[in-house]
């Protein structure tokens, strides 16, 4: 399913982002540098991890 989603739509995320089930496939969609930027941005905006706790991004 992940391969098909990436082939057809170039993404595994939906309107609610990437959660626990698809977290391990995130590096197949997002370049490591972009992923690091997104994680730093989330950390800056949510240092206490209150927004979407336990989710990948």
The residues spanned by each domain of the chain are: 2-45
17 band by pLDDT with thresholds 50, 70 and 90: low
Is the pLDDT confidence value at 13 over 80?
no
Is the pLDDT confidence value at 15 over 80?
no
In angstroms, the CA 40 to CA 54 distance is 16
12 band by pLDDT with thresholds 50, 70 and 90: confident
Counting DSSP H helices and E strands in the chain, the numbers are 3, 0
Helix (H, G, I), strand (E, B) or coil at 17: strand
Q: What is the residue whose two structure tokens read 């990436």? A: 6
State pLDDT tens for residues 29-45: 888 999 899 889 999 99
Instruction: Give the model's pLDDT for residue 16.
Output: 66
């Amino acid at each position: 399913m992940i391969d098909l989603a990436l082939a057809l739509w170039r993404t595994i995320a939906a309107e609610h982002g990437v959660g626990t089930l698809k977290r391990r496939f995130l590096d197949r969609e997002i370049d490591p540098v972009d992923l690091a930027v997104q994680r730093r941005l989330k950390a800056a905006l949510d240092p206490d991890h209150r927004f979407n706790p336990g989710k990948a991004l």
